[in-house]
Amino acid sequence: MAAASGTVRLQRCVVSPAGRHSASLIFLHGSGDSGKGLRRWIKEVLNHDFAFQHIKVIYPTAPRRPYTPMKGGLSNVWFDRFKISNDCPEHLESIDVMCEVLTDLIDDEVKSGIKKNRILIGGFSMGGCMAMHLAYRNHRDVAGVFALSSFLNKSSVVYQGVQKSDGVLPELFQCHGTADELVLHAWAEETNSALKSLGVSTKFHSFPGLHHELSKGLEDERLAQSLKSRDWRPGLPLLGGAVGHTSSLPGTSPRTPAVLQILVRHVAATSCWSKTTEQTKTDGERWRGHLRRGFRKRLTWRATGGSGAPKKRLKKKSCLTPGGVSS
């Protein structure tokens, strides 16, 4: 099935940020699913939307196309596969077409004022594989990549693309269950090791007993018992594969299942979602400017006694503090 990016516009399910939109996250579903279906699944697992203060979450839906593992049956898939295995060629024609289509989605975010280094791309299963192709072959300047229960074929062209790159590559964040029988845990480990050997910064989290899913169920007492309290302040480095809970972390609760919990933690703590040094400096200068203007107005009002003509120049007593003007 061939299609040009100009003729395909993906359906999108969007979770808007609670505050000012300054970053975007594109979450790609697995084979046979949809954007709405993935959002609904995550919402059922978390008991609320996967949402953030300033990040727009976008769940696009793959167009229907013949899918070889289903004997040519139509399905919502990002690309075709010859079979579900890491030891076979990739169906590059369909992958490349979808890279063009998804590039339009990225371009829409850029046109809306979001820089590419403020866009995170990832997905579950086939969606994670698609995200790796999209980022490491076509958009190496995005903020990062995440792949849940995903893998790349042994001879993937992604590896060739990364080899040819001479710039900084986006970080890869992976989660995978050791009991996954559809996409083997070893395939994901091989993917991670191969990309890491080529210079990609990676984080890999294994989940014992987890199958091809996002959680073992909300009622799994063993998971609830394994949750540990940690310091979740944004900006702190990620701490291995441990999971935890606190009311201060957006989108989590003591019963939040491990995979999504650690993904929420990754997004919340990733430095790209914090203001950059330049943005912080600019905001600081703007804030200090507001304080200086307010201070001058206050001095003028005191000097004139509320009238237009100044009586005498007041000695400057006030000092400027980050919290405001104190005198």
**E strands in the chain:** 11-15, 23-28, 55-61, 64-67, 73-76, 119-124, 144-148, 171-177, 202-207, 319-321, 324-326
- Of 31, 94, 125, 150, catalytic: 125
Secondary structure class of 138 (helix, strand, coil): helix
**CA–CA separation, 10 and 127 (whole Å):** 14
Give the HSE-up count for residue 24: Cα atoms under 13 Å, Cβ half-sphere. Answer: 21
**CA–CA separation, 172 and 24 (whole Å):** 17
Provide the sign of the torsion angle of the four alpha carbons 235, 239, 243, 247, taken in this order: negative
- For tokens 């008991």, what's the residue? 47
Separation of first and last alpha carbons in the chain: 72
Q: Single out the residue of 128, 102, 129 nearest to residue 116, CA to CA.
A: 102
Strand partners, 324: 321
**CA–CA separation, 85 and 152 (whole Å):** 9
- Of 180, 205, 215, 245, catalytic: 180
How many other CB atoms are found less than 10 A from the CB of residue 168? 10
Does residue 125 have an active-site annotation? yes
Contact (Cβ atoms closer than 8 angstroms) between residue 49 and residue 43: yes
Does residue 180 have an active-site annotation? yes
- Tokens standing for residue 323: 């919290």
- Tokens standing for residue 221: 């007492």
DSSP 200: -
- Of 5, 91, 212, 253, catalytic: 212
**CA–CA separation, 175 and 259 (whole Å):** 7
Does residue 24 have an active-site annotation? no
**CA–CA separation, 75 and 33 (whole Å):** 8
**CA–CA separation, 39 and 8 (whole Å):** 22
Task: Give catalytic residue positions.
Answer: 125, 180, 212
